[in-house]
Amino acid sequence: MPAMETWQNILRDSITTYDDLKKHLGCDNPAIHDVISTYPLRINPYYLGLIKKPGDPLWRQAVADPDELCDTVCQSDPLGEEKLSAAPHLVHKYPDRVLLLVNGQCAMYCRFCTRKRMVGTERMTISPKSLRKAYDYLRNNPQVREVLISGGDPLLLPDEMIGDILAELRSIPSIEVIRIGSRVPCTLPMRITPRLVGILRQHHPLYINTHFNHPLELTEEAHRACSLLADGGIPLGCQTVLLKGVNDSLEILKELFTGLLRMRVKPYYLFQADLTRGTDHLRTHSSVGINLMRGLLGHISGMALPTLALDAPNGKGKIPLTPQYIIQQGEKLEFTNYLGEICTYPEAGDPI
């Protein structure tokens, strides 16, 4: 990628149509027309260059698939975000924190996206007026101490707008912590610039949860972007989604999670895929993730271990899905370790 080329220019040259797919990736299935008209397509040149062959793990994340229109299992709004919206584009699910959607665009439209029904469409047009209503809600609800900024991708907004949003949130006395959810360190890492980091670092405590799903995404460009953010004092976490044919492999997850740690990104969550309409072909059985976590525990650093979780349908919240190690509880706790060996631990005091 030429050094003079800006991230805006890269984004401008994205693949967005069936004809683009035919030209650049050799796709020849007219059914994809209908998929793209329902669920928008965007693959920017950077991420396109990481795809090696049809059906590979990055292809499955980026390229529209006719199976998206054959989903009879999943739901349009699987997490009940619309019914939990306390103000336009503000979701209040948990007592002390909210989700604030500030942008409807992404650097790439992932085929497994939870907000697949909205991103890249007119349904997710966010205005200063709607943001003002969100800020007013937060000022009137001081029990909210944490805001997660998401979208779409917040970091695709202009620098000045990002700064204005953060400054507005920081002006609300009850807001203690701000988190940003962004996939651009993975899908468009050149968007992370020293100027952007300079704006972000003015609003600590600020955290960024990014999103890598496969070791092929851990490029030099991604490493550089994460280093800029980490050097700006911004703690980084990663929310990976478990996807069939992408990362449902022990060796792939080991390489991904240890590679993230080398990039100063803490693996935070490994998500069971949401029940999002149009994504059923990418979901795994819950036993897959549980068995993968059993294979990871003890074999890679605890720092590299995420929490396997399912975001329960209809807005019921995140539920940890953990392998079972406890055999029985009594005067002694009996359990197995990561090698399957039976261990005991003498209990203290009375049970709760």
Angle between helices 31-38 and 18-25 (to 10 degrees): 120
What integer pLDDT is reported at residue 125 of this predicted model?
A: 85
| Tokens, residue 187 | 């899908």
Tokens encoding 294: 């059993």
Q: How far apart are CA 89 and CA 109, in angstroms?
A: 19
pLDDT of amino acid 309: 96
User: In this predicted structure, what is the pLDDT of residue 13?
Assistant: 96
Q: Where are the beta strands (DSSP E) in 74-205?
A: 85-87, 90-94, 97-103, 146-151, 177-181
CA distance linking residue 18 with residue 36, whole number of Å = 8
User: Residue 230 has what pLDDT?
Assistant: 98
Angle of CA points 274, 296, 231, to nearest 5°: 80
Residues 6+ apart with CB under 8 A from 74: 275, 276, 277, 278, 279, 280, 283
Q: Cα angle at 303 between 191 and 340, to 5 degrees?
A: 140
Of residues 226, 309, 296, 314, the one with CA closest to residue 258: 296
Specify the pLDDT at position 5.
Answer: 55
Q: pLDDT at position 289, please?
A: 97
Structure tokens at 103: 């942008």
User: What's the Cα-to-Cα distance from 38 to each of 30, 32, 118, 119, 169, rounded to whole Å?
Assistant: 14, 10, 10, 11, 34
Residue 349 confidence (pLDDT): 80
**pLDDT tens by residue, 75-91:** 999 999 999 999 999 99
pLDDT in tens, the chain (352 residues): 444 358 999 999 999 999 999 999 999 899 999 999 999 999 999 999 999 999 999 999 999 999 999 999 999 999 999 999 999 999 999 999 999 999 999 999 999 999 999 999 988 888 899 999 999 999 999 999 999 999 999 999 999 999 999 999 999 999 999 999 999 999 999 999 999 999 999 999 999 999 999 999 999 999 999 999 999 999 999 999 999 999 999 999 999 999 999 999 999 999 999 999 999 999 999 999 999 999 999 999 999 999 999 999 888 899 999 989 999 999 899 999 989 999 999 988 877 7
Check if the beta carbon of residue 317 is closer than 8 Å to that of residue 97: no
Residue 113 is assigned to a ligand binding site: yes
* CA–CA gap between residue 11 and residue 49 (Å, rounded): 13
Could you tell me the pTM of the whole model? 0.94
- 343: annotated binding-site residue? no
Give the angle 24-30-32 at the CA atoms, nearest 5°: 70
Helices (H) and strands (E) in the chain, counts: 12, 13
Instruction: Output the pLDDT for position 35.
Output: 97
Confidence at residue 2, expressed as pLDDT on a 0 to 100 scale: 40
Q: Please report, for residues 146, 196, 258, 296, 336, the alpha-carbon distance to residue 218 in angstroms, rounded to integers and kept in the order given.
A: 29, 21, 11, 19, 34
Domains of the chain as residue ranges with CATH: 67-320 (3.20.20.70), 325-352 (no CATH)
